[in-house]
Structure 1
Amino acid sequence: MLSRTFLCLSIASMSTPLLADTVWMKNGDRLTGTIKVFDGGKLLLQTEYGGSIQLDWKKIATLETSNDLLVRQEGERNLNGVLVKSLKPADAGKVVIADGGTPKTVELASIEQILKPKPLVQDLTWKGNIDVSLDYKRAEKDTDDYDIDFKTSARHGLWRHNAKGDYNREFQDDVKTTDNWSAEYALDRFLDEHWFWQGRGEYKSDKIEELRRQRTLGTGPGYQFWDNELGAFSMATLLNRTDHEYDTGEKENFYALGVKWDYNRYLIGKAFELFTNGEVGKPLGNVADYTLDAEIGLRYKVTDWASLNMKAEKDVVAGSQGDLDETRYTVGFGVGW
């Protein structure tokens, strides 16, 4: 019995490394880990010994994995690629694809993208980021500028919770020139893989501009175009009820149709992230012309959790009591998970 136990342990210890994905480089190196994504000429390999490693696709001889992957080749009509059951090593510059039929050998150069298939979310998944930018300028006018933004999303099954907020403050020669903050919460209920219904609430406060407070409640359908290792893109059309309060004490409220978007795309082996989100609205009636709240930016990953970012934010309200038109450009540091 004792010898059988040792035999089983030995077999298990010898077979465990085989479960890892393997990449052979043209210079003879052999790397093991988990293949996360291939895009933009970079293969991202998650390792226990070095974290996420970016490998130049042209320097790879061949590779092996027993995990399901979506592989897209040149001329493939399906933008998500074809589901393959495994990749087996072959001669240098080639790989064997097993997709349930007869295995075939293809050139690595013919592969344009590799993704992990997105399973139906059963357990709780949570992702988000916090970006901070500080700007201190000492010149003819001393300027202190602070900007903090956060965004997070948690999904369990057919439900997704979204929250975001920001805080902006600026001083010029100890005179406050910007002082505002906002917070938003949205709840999505997925009807199928793509369609969902959203309900949301948002509050904005500004102590400097004519428009001091904005409160918005809305609901409507949305569509998730994609959500995978390379990013996500969704849009929602909402019927909103908005309340405005001005520095004069005047108030107005109106209903509006709004279109929200949320887009992010990882580039060059997830080293860079392009993102944009916001909402444009058209009030029903003559109380206001239109509203716009949007941002666009770029993040560069320094480590697995830390990044440098730069972005532009635009906030526009064309109303009957006064106009708000703000544009902010920030560069800062962030953390993500």
Structure 2
Amino acid sequence: MISEQDYALQALNSFNVKSNSSTIYFPSSIDDLQQLAQLDAVTCGQFYILGEGSNSLFVQDKAPVIIKPKFMGISIQEGVDEYRVTVGASENWHQLVAFCINEGIYGLENLALIPGSVGAAPVQNIGAYGVEFADFCLKVDFFDFNTSSLVELSAQACDFSYRESIFKHELHNRGVITQVVLTFPKNWQAKLTYQGLDELPANASAKEVMQQVIKIRQSKLPDPNELPNAGSFFKNPVVSQSLFSQLHKQYPNMPHYPQASGEVKLAAGWLIDQLGLKGGRFLHVGVHQKQALVLVNYGQGAGKDVVGLAKYIQQRVFEHFAVTIEPEVRMIGELGEQAFNDLTDFSVVSELTHD
């Protein structure tokens, strides 16, 4: 198995923050994963599985042992009514979306241009424009370090919900996703209910939907290669009907999305924008000028600076709206992933500056 010591991670995270790992491993087979299962760092849970680093923030100068899987490949099985696509966890997500469209397999077009690897998709249950990963998941293959064995998890067993899955809870730091199996019905219909997509004609093709999604995302989200960021930093909060009713009286134009549970999902970016925080800066980090949901690194920003900015935004939103917004981005410290609320070593922000 390939591995390297004292590995600089700055180029492997889209926030471009500096952090070093004592050891990084690049497993590409089940035999490699079985070797990893015997390591002290793994048995103690002091490691982090890194995909493309587009949803990870290293909050300290030192990082834990890093496992960066290399499981590749895409295969298609065609049935009478559906397609079944098996994908290696290390494949790029957007490239998978484009591949499926080109093969005449439709459904993922609303999820175009979401950064990251395929293996990260079930962990976050990624979603956009009314579509989620869970809508197409048949099963996930997962190597369990505790048992040194590969197990198949059905979509139901993955316990998907909004930006949540079993991989963030019961199976957190228990193993590695090696591949996913997705199903796509041949009886496809475009989902065009979200703002921006509703401009398309009802008979728009999947390729046209994908192109529109790409256009919208590129107009709102900065390219991490030009301005380091992790895309949407905060999850959209889901609040009770009673709280929403109070807020809606004050803000009748507030974007909102009723949920099957009776609760209401709000737009975190809108909440932040109402506070005048868009375009604000703190040290070398800030809130993007075009999208309040995106935090950016303007140069030499450290992980603790981003955390400080995020804490400040969270506090301001709660004070004004009584709504708690939580990061979608995962926080990685020296010993592994940390809960945002448990982070204590961060740059304290009292206000933001604007150009």
TM range (shorter): under 0.3
- Give the strand-richer structure, 1 or 2: 1
TM-score by length of 1: 0.23
The structure whose Rg is larger is 1
- Give the helix-richer structure, 1 or 2: 2
TM-score by length of 2: 0.22
